Every structure is written in structure tokens, then in C-alpha cells.
Amino acid sequence: MKITILYEDKDIVVVNKPSGIVVHPDGKSKGPFITDWVLENYPKAKNVGEPVETKEYGIIERPGIVHRLDRDTSGVLLIAKTKAGHAKLKEQFQERTVVKKYLTFVYGEIKDRFGIINRPIGRSPNDFRRWSATRGARGEMRDAETWYVLLSYRVGYSFLEIEPKTGRTHQIRVHFKAVNHPVVHDTLYAPEKIKEKPNALGFKRNALHAYSLEFTNTVGKKIKVVAPLPADFKEAIEELGIQEVAKKEGLC
């Protein structure tokens, strides 16, 4: 794996996760995993983190992992090299003081400059792989809040900066599906859109990029890390003719 390091100190390393790689084993996915890279480069992190016990696959080790990005989502990923780093980051995620910002293209034209999606998320009643923020969701409904800023829109698409205030599984994808603006080329939440437009903006994966992340390191210093735009985002920006918007926002 070719993994780019964006920031590093004695306790924490931040990487630019490529699309297509799963963060840690889950008993179902094929590797390699980000955790393989962690163990290869930081073997002392082997016992850092919290294993997860599952009924189906037993105990799953997650060395260094504090949070996750979906397989197809690219961008900023925090990794703890030490137990002190893990404790510091875990505390901030629990207190919701980590500021995460994503970029995405969604189907349809959103006209409001700013918006908040505040919808609890539960299990989909129809597909065990999916979550839902609409009527009929089952199981425990967990609060979920997503803020967004409209950067630009063109016929059929909107380009957004998103700040999830909570960290639910698939939160951004679920929330925008719930308001009828699913993420472009999201095979799980927008298969019907992919059938209509199989080559939408040239994406071959869900159009979601973890662009920036702000946290406090173990010595109390505020850190902001930015992951450069991947090639498919740059190509989509060019296809829509919104290069000036991206430059104005400091994205390229």
C-alpha cells in the first residue's frame, strides 16, 4: 500500500487514506487493510486500540484505530501510535470536539446556501447492510446531525462541504439519501441513480472525501490536517466547470 502521511508526532499519525481500502478487518472484507500498514510501520501500536467482539467473527483487532472511513471514502484518517495518543483522541471523539469536514457531489440541485439535516438513524427495514433516517427504520434510533454548505451546483448535481456533528455509521450517505440527494455513485444508497447515470461525473466509487480534520494532540496543540483533492474530484470539478469555485475555497 502506498499511504501518504499528512501529519505525525510521537503519539499520533494522520494519513491520507486512498479509496478502495478498508480500515480494519471485519470478518467479511478482503485485505489489505490500513491496520496492516500500521503494524508494518508502527509495530509497537499492536496493542493500541480497542478490539471489537462480534458474534459471527469473534474478536477483531483494530491496532491504532480511533475512527473509520468507509472503504470507498478517501481522505484524512487519524491513527494512534501509543496508548496516550489513543486515549487523547478517543476523549475528543466522545466529546465531539474533533472537527471533520468532507467534500461530496450529490445528485440533484440543492439551492439553499446552508443547511442542517437532523434526523435520527436506525437500521434499514429492507437491507441489513444499510442504515436509514426515514420512517420505518428499525432498532435503536440514534441521534445524528449533519451540517452542510453549498459550494456550487450545476444541472443535476451539487457540490457540498459537509460537517457531521455526530459520527454514525454511513451518516453522510444516509442523511443525503433521506433528503433525496444521495451521494454520487453510492452503490449502496443510490443504485437506481447509477442505473440512470452509470458514468455520473466519472466516479467509480462514492463521491465522498474526508477533506480536513481538526484535533488537539497529546501536548495540547491544536492541529488541522488537510487531504488534497483526489484525481476523480478534480476531474468532476473540471467537468462541471466549477474550477473558479474550487480555487476560491482553497481546494485546488
Our measurement of the distance from residue 215's CA atom to the centroid of its chain's CA atoms, rounded to an integer in Å, reads 16
Q: Which three cell numbers stand for residue 113?
A: 446556501
Bridge partner list, 150: 160
**How many angstroms separate the Cα of 79 from the Cα of each of 7, 43, 203?**
10, 13, 27
Burial class (CB in 10 A: 0-12, 13-18, 19+), 223: middle
CB count within 10 Å of CB 245 equals 15
Is residue 11 part of the annotated active site? The answer reads no
Q: Which three cell numbers stand for residue 150?
A: 453549498
* Selected catalytic residue, list 9, 36, 70, 143: 70
Cα-based angle 114, 119, 124 (whole degrees, multiple of 5) = 130
Cα-based angle 154, 156, 157 (whole degrees, multiple of 5) = 65
Cα-based angle 166, 168, 170 (whole degrees, multiple of 5) = 125
Cell 476523549 sits on residue: 91
Catalytic residue annotation: 70
